[in-house]
Structure 1
Amino acid sequence: MNHESQPLLGSSRDDEPAPTFFSSMKVSFTNSWFNVLLIFVPIALGFSFVGASDPVVFSLNFIAIIPLAKMLGFATEELALRTGSTIGSLLNATFGNAVELILGIVALKEGLIRVVQASILGSILSNILLVLGFCFLLGGLTRSEQEFSSIAAQTSSSLLSLTVLSLLVPAAFATVAGDGKEATDGILALSQGTSIVLLIVYILYLIFQLKTHTQFFEDEVDEEEVPTTTLAFSAVLLIAVAGFVSLHAEFLVGAIEGVVDQWGINETFVGIILLPLVGNAAEHVSSVTFAMKNKMNLCIGVALSSSLQIGLLVSPVLVIAGWFIGQPMTLFFEDFETVILFASVLIVNYLIQDARSNWLEGALLLAAYAIIAMAFFFHPIN
């Protein structure tokens, strides 16, 4: 909902009263029609705790995450009005990916390495193709073009390329080294060393984004918009909603196996396409909302920062976590998956390098995602 349609909420007049706890709560629960679906939160939790069938648990938790994702985006935007779009986008991406990191570590403990790898790849693809596609499409329907920071776009493009390189090198190494134990140990050691390098790069990226080149990542200040919730309420709301999203995501993931068996869905399709749609629901909703408000730096920041966090933070942390708990988590993906990621990043880099977007570019990204989704749907299970 645009602030312009609610003068009381978006006005910058000096005579407007400061937000209070009760006004903050009222705005938070009435700012979007998506909040009607909040009724599914207790319903989903109830059915999950009593042990309902997996398809029921999956469906209810899937629906429950939608309004929570929208509310997470609202809380992030409220914080961004105080902290700036750079930190706001970073907060949104971080809280969205915290769910995947926790679930990834849990899956690693169970030895589900392929599931973890599939979720990593799917998260990157959904952010750079599906989320950006909808942002460019819906944001560009009422505008000829939308502009964003060229420095931010080029930096994101370079870091995405480095993420792909970190997966291409182990794949090439495996092709040359063969299938012996020495080759397996080499891939594991290479992945662990690469993960340390990627974590260092991520720290440098944060310094670049938040300290030395902040001006290139900020949206222009809209003087018509002021916070409609208190700072403390926004922070507590962000943490609380992220906790509920994590809880629902855990129930949803736990029901995946039963859904695959009863619905006859390809497990690879679920892990790479369907699961990331839920895990990244917060970024999906908030990014599109920002794009429709023409806050493209914030939109690009949320979508691409989430992908970069997956590639430069979540993946290395999971590799290192597997190192400590004795699980051979590596950055070696299947050739089919690596090629798809390479081609996807190549397309995205071409489209964002001019720091402009339009609805057609959004349609192209969505078309690419649809083709990839069909490929994984029909991909045979090994």
Structure 2
Amino acid sequence: MKQKLFYTILIASFLLSGTAHYSGLNTTLQFVLCCIAVIFAAGFMGKATESVAHYAGERMGGFLNATFGNAAELIIAIFLVRDGLHDMVKASITGSIIGNMLLVLGLSVFLGGLKYKVQNFNVMLASHNASLMLLAVVALIVPAIFAKSFTFKEMDMLSTIVAVILIIAYGLWLLFSMVTHKKELSDVSARDPEDHAHTLNWSKGKSIFYLVLATVMVAFISEWLVGTLEHFTETFGLSELFVGAFLIAIIGNAAEHSAAVFLAMKNKIGAAVEIAIGSSLQVALFVAPVLVIVSHFMGDPMNIVFTLYELAAIAIAAVLARSISQDGATNWYEGFLLLVVYVILGIAFFLV
């Protein structure tokens, strides 16, 4: 009965938010309906991710969730690049990276830690994730340092080269983690005893289909919701940096937020970490470089030079996430620390 009610509200909220968007109803009403729709679509995506993880393993389930979640964000960013909104794109990339490492990981560790005293995951995986994130930070800092010394053409060339290198590094990481060292990076998180008794109603094929369907729904709702943000930015006088780095990022990653938290509360912290950290890595090493390359085909090249505020936020998030995850064990207080830093950065971005 509960599941039937959930799916009824999911479908109804999706149809109502779409109708409100395309019929041009009151912007505030659109915003409220889209928020409700995102919550239920995110819950649907969390269930689909859990089901896929049951068949493919927690790491693959987390990777698929991060990939599908970022696919929606990538599509929205491509349209922003097409419109020449490069600063908004970079701000949303920044927001996605710090949002996943601080907000998503923080909530997952905090809420999971309230239920389980200590949660464990693969130490080797944590170490490699941390090293890759520091690579991404270095790759973003170097162009910013030399930006004033280069001409537009030289900076464009450097940005393209860095983008290609990062994509290669990410591809090799997938080969390393999913193929050559798959066993060494396997899941070590304990499972909830109740989970063994739980029988999934979805087959493997149906689970994958529902994950794709949930991603498509989230993509549409996110786009509709983002379309209402201009009204709120004008009403409350919010900056483009804050909107891109926090509002758009939170909305775009809503599905990943819920999926990671749900998994952590079932003591599947390995999958939660893979969603949070893995998604940040995917944005920094794949999504951002792809946007740089795609911008060339749109006739308005976007460089990979981020502002000092953005670089500082990414570096702080990377260092803190590395410090907390390097021992392969988490507790609720570590999650609280991540959330505190996210709030501090949010206030700073709001006041800029």
Q: Could you tell me the TM-score, scaled by structure 1's length?
A: 0.86
Which of the numbers 365, 371, 377 marks the counterpart of 2:338? Answer: 365
Q: Which residue type is aligned with residue 52 of structure 2?
A: L
Residue in 1 that maps onto 2:200: 227
How far is the alpha carbon of 1:59 from its aligned partner? 2.9
Q: Distance in 1 between matches of 2:250 and 2:307?
A: 21
Residue in 2 that maps onto 1:294: 267
Residue in 1 that maps onto 2:89: 116
Q: Distance in 1 between matches of 2:81 and 2:342?
A: 27
Q: Which residue type is aligned with residue 121 of structure 2?
A: F
Residue in 2 that maps onto 1:18: none
Q: Distance in 2 between matches of 1:353 and 1:35?
A: 42
Residue in 1 that maps onto 2:295: 322
User: Counterpart of 1:207 in 2: which secondary structure?
Assistant: helix
Deviating 4+ runs (over 4 angstroms)? 26-30, 33-38, 219-223
Task: Judge conservation of contact 2:45–2:214 (CA < 8 Å) in 1.
Answer: yes
Q: Does 1:213 align with 2:186?
A: no
How far is the alpha carbon of 1:214 from its aligned partner? 1.7
Which of the numbers 328, 331, 334 marks the counterpart of 1:355? Answer: 328
**Structure 2 counterparts to residues 128-207 of structure 1, below 5 A:** 128-175=101-148, 177=149, 182-207=150-175
Q: Which residue type is aligned with residue 187 of structure 2?
A: E
Task: Judge conservation of contact 1:35–1:67 (CA < 8 Å) in 2.
Answer: no
Q: Distance in 1 between matches of 2:133 and 2:37?
A: 31
Q: Distance in 2 between matches of 1:358 and 1:169?
A: 35
**Structure 2 counterparts to residues 1-382 of structure 1, below 5 A:** 29=4, 36=9, 38-175=11-148, 177=149, 182-215=150-183, 216-219=185-188, 222=191, 223-379=196-352
How far is the alpha carbon of 1:255 from its aligned partner? 2.2
Q: Which digits, 9 at most, give the CA deviation of each residue in 1:61-91, with x for residues without a partner?
A: 1221111011111111111111111211111
Q: Gaps spanning 5+ residues in structure 1: where?
A: 1-25
Task: Judge conservation of contact 1:157–1:349 (CA < 8 Å) in 2.
Answer: yes
Residues 35 and 211 from structure 1, CA distance in 2 versus in 1: closer, same or farther, beyond 3 angstroms?
A: farther
Q: Distance in 2 between matches of 1:27 and 1:219?
A: 32
Q: Distance in 1 between matches of 2:72 and 2:31?
A: 16
Task: Judge conservation of contact 1:136–1:291 (CA < 8 Å) in 2.
Answer: yes
Residues 220 and 369 from structure 1, CA distance in 2 versus in 1: closer, same or farther, beyond 3 angstroms?
A: closer
User: Counterpart of 2:115 in 1: which secondary structure?
Assistant: coil
How far is the alpha carbon of 1:259 from its aligned partner? 2.2
Residue in 2 that maps onto 1:21: none
Q: Which residue type is aligned with residue 173 of structure 2?
A: Y
Q: Distance in 2 between matches of 1:41 and 1:172?
A: 45
Residues 112 and 83 from structure 1, CA distance in 2 versus in 1: closer, same or farther, beyond 3 angstroms?
A: same
Q: Distance in 2 between matches of 1:368 and 1:305?
A: 20
Q: Distance in 1 between matches of 2:70 and 2:167?
A: 15
Residue in 2 that maps onto 1:8: none
Q: Which digits, 9 at most, give the CA deviation of each residue in 1:142-181, with x for residues without a partner?
A: 3321111001100110111011111101111124x1xxxx
Between 1:264-273 and 1:293-302, the stretch displaced more is: 264-273
Q: Distance in 1 between matches of 2:76 and 2:163?
A: 19
Q: Distance in 2 between matches of 1:56 and 1:328?
A: 37
Q: Which residue type is aligned with residue 325 of structure 1?
A: M
Q: Distance in 1 between matches of 2:92 and 2:207?
A: 29
Q: Which digits, 9 at most, give the CA deviation of each residue in 1:206-227, with x for residues without a partner?
A: 1112112223232468544443
User: Counterpart of 2:321 in 1: which secondary structure?
Assistant: helix
Q: Which residue type is aligned with residue 297 of structure 2?
A: F
Q: Which digits, 9 at most, give the CA deviation of each residue in 1:167-205, with x for residues without a partner?
A: 101111124x1xxxx522222211110010011011111
Q: Distance in 1 between matches of 2:4 and 2:206?
A: 13
Number of aligned positions between the proteins? 347
Q: Which residue type is aligned with residue 217 of structure 2?
A: F
Q: Which residue type is aligned with residue 75 of structure 1?
A: A
Q: Could you tell me the TM-score, scaled by structure 2's length?
A: 0.93
Q: Distance in 2 between matches of 1:35 and 1:296?
A: 30
User: Counterpart of 1:214 in 2: which secondary structure?
Assistant: coil
Task: Judge conservation of contact 2:121–2:187 (CA < 8 Å) in 1.
Answer: no
User: Counterpart of 1:331 in 2: which secondary structure?
Assistant: coil
Q: Which residue type is aligned with residue 110 of structure 1?
A: D
Q: Gaps spanning 5+ residues in structure 2: where?
A: none
Residues 217 and 62 from structure 1, CA distance in 2 versus in 1: closer, same or farther, beyond 3 angstroms?
A: farther
Q: Distance in 2 between matches of 1:228 and 1:27?
A: 15
User: Counterpart of 1:294 in 2: which secondary structure?
Assistant: coil
Q: CA RMSD in A?
A: 1.9
Q: Which residue type is aligned with residue 332 of structure 1?
A: V
Task: Judge conservation of contact 2:121–2:189 (CA < 8 Å) in 1.
Answer: no
